[in-house]
């Protein structure tokens, strides 16, 4: 190899590296577009069964079925906005005008009550708190500012929501067009296998996301019942937020429980710690633990094993492995990605004994 070939190789490698860098920079700059596409894809997978029901049972034309499906999604989104935005705005306004000095006094009073309670049980926590002096480091003025900035961020979601619904409409409307384009692009020797895989993946992921919505609804109802029993303010909002956190397997319910306990304590701030705050928090925690037992042992295994044709232990191990490899984001995407891999494996390697074992129900 002469010097000219070496220099050409170096130039070629540098150009490729530069192009890859520009591509990654471009993806980073337009990452919100990819998020919109991903969310729209999920919504379209959920909407496909609804659209098919409208077409087969009610004899809707394709375009009318798509429009009706989109109207259903828009009505759901508007209903959520009508429920939550006024509440968030009113709470944000109230907290913006909040007397932070009074809140700080209530908080310090709470710390004093906790310290007294621990001292009554032979735990010298008061001295530890006094030595650390950590309560004096809390800036309560950050609370109203944070909530105001959060409300401002939420108000900017309008463009994102509109973009997602626009993309979803064409994902649903032009499914046949995408298939015909794919047939022209895909290599002939693998075309049937790829299209069959895509069709099966769409079916299983649609079942999975519908099952996930059903599971979240069951958890939401159970959370709401627990919070209403113990008279927690804004029970609907707290139950909804905790149910949404269940999207994160195993970690999400823990975060939801901590969130519920925190909001329960804040809603009772200023009341007696021993007789009101602590008992209510304990009851709410026990109630949430019971809900998680029901969800983990009854609703979740039944719904997911039926929707994606996988054993509950198989799902648990997959989520655990993806979580160790890719963190929380990997845990969220574990089941959909694993389902995709199973379908591809069955289509392209149907004679492999290991793949046969894991895909026998597909």
Query: 11-33, pLDDT tens digit by residue?
Result: 788 888 889 999 888 888 878 88
Q: Rounded to the nearest 5 degrees, what angle is found at the Cα of 145, between the Cα atoms of 142 and 147?
A: 105
Residue 149 CA to residue 153 CA, distance in Å, equals 6
Average pLDDT over residues 261-289: 79
Average pLDDT over residues 217-230: 91
Average pLDDT over residues 214-242: 87
In the predicted structure, residue 140 carries a pLDDT above the cut 50: no
Q: Residue 271 has what pLDDT?
A: 67
CA distances from 200 to 39, 184, 207, 332 (A): 20, 20, 11, 21
Reported pTM? 0.69
Which alpha helices (DSSP H) does the chain contain, by range? 3-29, 31-56, 62-96, 100-120, 125-132, 142-155, 157-173, 175-185, 191-229, 235-245, 251-267, 278-294, 300-308, 312-348, 353-358
- Lowest average pLDDT, out of 243-247, 262-266, 352-356, goes to 262-266
Q: Residue 70 has what pLDDT?
A: 93
Residue of 305 and 200 predicted with greater confidence: 200
Average pLDDT over residues 333-352: 86
Cα first-last separation, the chain: 53
Q: Residue 71 has what pLDDT?
A: 93
Contact criterion met (CB below 8 Å) for 195 and 183: yes
- Lowest average pLDDT, out of 47-56, 80-89, 219-228, 273-282, goes to 80-89
């Amino acid at each position: 190899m002469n010097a000219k070939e070496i220099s050409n190789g170096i130039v070629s490698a540098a150009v490729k590296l530069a192009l890859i860098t520009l591509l990654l920079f471009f993806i980073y700059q337009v990452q919100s577009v990819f998020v919109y596409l991903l969310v729209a894809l999920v919504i379209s997978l959920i909407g496909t069964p609804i659209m098919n029901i409208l077409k087969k049972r009610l004899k809707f034309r394709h375009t009318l079925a798509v429009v009706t499906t989109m109207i259903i999604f828009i009505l759901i989104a508007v209903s959520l906005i009508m429920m939550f935005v006024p509440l968030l705005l009113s709470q944000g306004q109230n907290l913006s005008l909040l007397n932070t000095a009074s809140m700080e006094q209530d908080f310090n009073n709470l710390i004093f009550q906790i310290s007294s309670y621990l001292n009554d049980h032979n735990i010298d926590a008061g001295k530890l708190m006094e030595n650390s002096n950590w309560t004096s480091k809390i800036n309560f003025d950050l609370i109203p500012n944070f909530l105001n900035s959060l409300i401002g961020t939420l108000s900017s979601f309008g463009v994102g929501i509109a973009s997602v619904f626009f993309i979803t409409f064409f994902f649903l409307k032009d499914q046949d067009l995408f298939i015909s384009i794919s047939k022209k692009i895909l290599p002939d020797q693998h075309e049937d296998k790829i299209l069959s895989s895509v069709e099966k993946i769409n079916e299983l992921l649609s079942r999975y996301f519908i099952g996930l919505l059903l599971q979240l609804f069951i958890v939401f109802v159970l959370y709401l019942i627990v919070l209403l029993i113990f008279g927690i303010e804004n029970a609907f909002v707290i139950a909804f937020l905790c149910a949404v956190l269940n999207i994160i397997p195993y970690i999400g319910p823990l975060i939801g429980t901590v969130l519920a306990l925190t909001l329960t304590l804040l809603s009772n701030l200023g009341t007696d710690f021993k007789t009101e705050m602590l008992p209510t928090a304990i009851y709410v925690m026990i109630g949430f633990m019971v809900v998680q037992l029901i969800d983990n042992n009854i609703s979740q295994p039944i719904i997911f094993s039926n929707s994606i044709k996988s054993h509950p232990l198989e799902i648990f191990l997959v989520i655990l492995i993806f979580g160790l490899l890719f963190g929380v984001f990997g845990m969220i995407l574990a089941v959909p990605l694993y389902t995709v891999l199973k379908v591809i494996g069955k289509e392209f390697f149907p004679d492999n004994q290991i793949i046969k074992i894991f895909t026998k129900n597909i």
